[in-house]
Amino acid sequence: MKLKQRPEDFVVTESWRFDEDPKGEHFVYLMDKQKLSTFEAVDRICETFRLPRASVSFCGLKDKQGRTTQLVAVHRRQIELQDPDLRLKPLGRSAVPLSAVNTTSNRFAVTVRDLREEDLARLPAALAEVRRLGVVNYFDSQRFGSLKHGQGFVVKELMRGEFETALHNVLARPSPLDRSDDARVKQYWKDHWGEWDRKNPYPGADRYTPVARWLRDHPDDYRGAILRTEPRWRALQVFAYQSWLWNEGVKAYLRAVVGIQQLTSIRYQAGSLLFPRELDQAQSKRLADRTFPLLAPTTRFADPETERAALSVLGREDMTIADLAVPGTPEIHFDPEERPLLVFPGRLAVGDPKRDELNRGRHRVNVAFTLPPGAYATLVVKRLFHWTLAPAGGIMRERDGEGTTARAGKTEGMRARATATTTSAAAAAATVKGKRSAPGATPPVATPPVAAPPEPKGFLARRRAEKEARASRRAAAKKR
């Protein structure tokens, strides 16, 4: 299975509402973007029209890989933008800025590519499972870009009071996967850490100017420098770690309530996720309308099993719920929230298979559905084709090594495991203590993937495995 090989393979249309006010101070636009994250699109708007970032509000974060539409609003300024990859259409005015409450749902149209005949044969059963059981409402890989790019969970350094380490990870740790100007900006500060009188010459450096200016005047105040970053970005760092804790807690809850024998595992950026394949009536009733908490110091648990599952994850992190705070920094805080455990895709439809023009000898299908705000369309698709993403011996491979993405998947798996290595707080402190230049970064703590029981192979797969085994035996005999 392959997703997002073309921008038009992943189309998201936001359903929205806002109270029209002809005299409102916020000018509302429908933003149509391609291959841009919501933050990148807002940054371009602000840079083009010299706007402070706080003057642009939006409903939610939309995927970078694909074509998406969503609402944005600009405070006290009418603008016009018609770039090939970013277009704005005026809709009216609002008396208040936009927020997540303005989004009612999202409609997705996804083209799933690189499918075999065997995948198509298994799809109807998976479709029936999703319609009957729903999809566990996990946070998907998009929420964990900091792991992909080697920064780890920045908020963990902040919680330990390691403000310099956290800032170095943000400002001076370019991703090996990033070829943008931002990577050059970060490489410059990596090479010139502590030389805050310098002017970073690369495009995009202005977004970090308040941080550099603060350190020029307060060279030892890394906490103050962190607070010069964009507030929405800081909130996202907290939410990323909360999201990982939620995923891990829900996995523990499902193992306890459903049992590992009835769960299937798929890989993602931060390890693996577990989904039920079958539920009895009592289990279905138990999970229906259930929520699971995003953890914060003020979280209150509805039942003992939820509490045990959530606290077991914190225990693996050597933390208690009271530790979810940044010392001396109330500006960065964890807020409690309940998130639905399951989500049921609305108006779920799968089109007829067609020849895949991008992958020779393979097929593609179109999948369309509606989700509430905050749910991940990629997880619905992954659940439908879960067997193509099952962990295989701890190595990230596409269908037991088949396909052109096997090498990239293996590389990403190695990188994910490297960034998931546990490092103690004492070791992290030793990295920075007494040093001004190039502090080391503390990788995040992640749980190793939980391997699900192997699924029975189809007839063709068994014949292929037997053929490969015979070839291996013949090769071994020749060597002897």
Residue 27, domain CATH: 3.30.70.3160
Q: Which amino acid is present at 62?
A: K
Compute the average pLDDT of residues 195-209.
92
Rounded distance, CA 397 to CA 167, Å? 34
State the total domains in the chain: 2
- Percent of the chain scoring above 90 in pLDDT: 62
Kindly state whether residues 87 and 134 are assigned to the same domain.
no
pLDDT at 288: 86
| Domain that residue 379 falls in | 116-145+233-420+446-459
Of 110, 79, 106, 75, nearest to 1 (Cα)? 110
Compute the average pLDDT of residues 98-124.
92
CB-CB contact of 145 with 178 (8 Å)? no
pLDDT at 478: 56
Kindly state whether residues 35 and 134 are assigned to the same domain.
no
In order of 27, 42, 373, the CA distances from 73 in angstroms are 5, 10, 18
As beta bridge partners, residue 263 has: 276
CB-CB contact of 64 with 39 (8 Å)? no
Q: Which CATH number belongs to the domain containing residue 337 in this structure? A: 3.30.2350
Compute the average pLDDT of residues 454-476.
57
Kindly state whether residues 121 and 102 are assigned to the same domain.
no
Of 24, 27, 19, 23, nearest to 58 (Cα)? 27
User: Which of 10-19, 174-183, 253-262, 443-452 shows the lowest mean pLDDT across its residues?
Assistant: 443-452
In order of 4, 49, 266, 352, the CA distances from 366 in angstroms are 12, 38, 21, 8
pLDDT at 465: 66
Whether residue 429 is contained in a domain is answered as no
pLDDT at 80: 94
Mean pLDDT for the chain? 84
The two three-digit tokens of residue 448, written as one number:
């190793």
Kindly state whether residues 300 and 369 are assigned to the same domain.
yes
- Residue 62's pLDDT band (cuts 50, 70, 90): confident
pLDDT at 466: 61
**HSE, side-chain direction, 13 A CA sphere, residue 63:** 28
Q: Is beta strand 10-16 parallel, antiparallel or unpaired with respect to 67-75?
A: parallel
To 10 degrees, what angle do helices 425-432 and 163-171 make? 70
To 10 degrees, what angle do helices 231-257 and 304-316 make? 120
Whether residue 355 is contained in a domain is answered as yes
Whether residue 125 is contained in a domain is answered as yes
Q: Domain end: 86, 106, 126, which one?
A: 106
pLDDT at 276: 96
Burial class (CB within 10 angstroms; exposed 0-12, middle 13-18, buried 19+) of 423: middle
Kindly state whether residues 127 and 252 are assigned to the same domain.
yes
Residue 113 phi, psi (nearest 5): -115, 175
pLDDT at 96: 93
Identify the residue with better confidence: 295 or 435. Answer: 295
Digit-coded pLDDT (tens) for 243-302 = 999 999 999 999 999 999 999 999 999 999 999 999 998 899 889 889 999 999 999 998
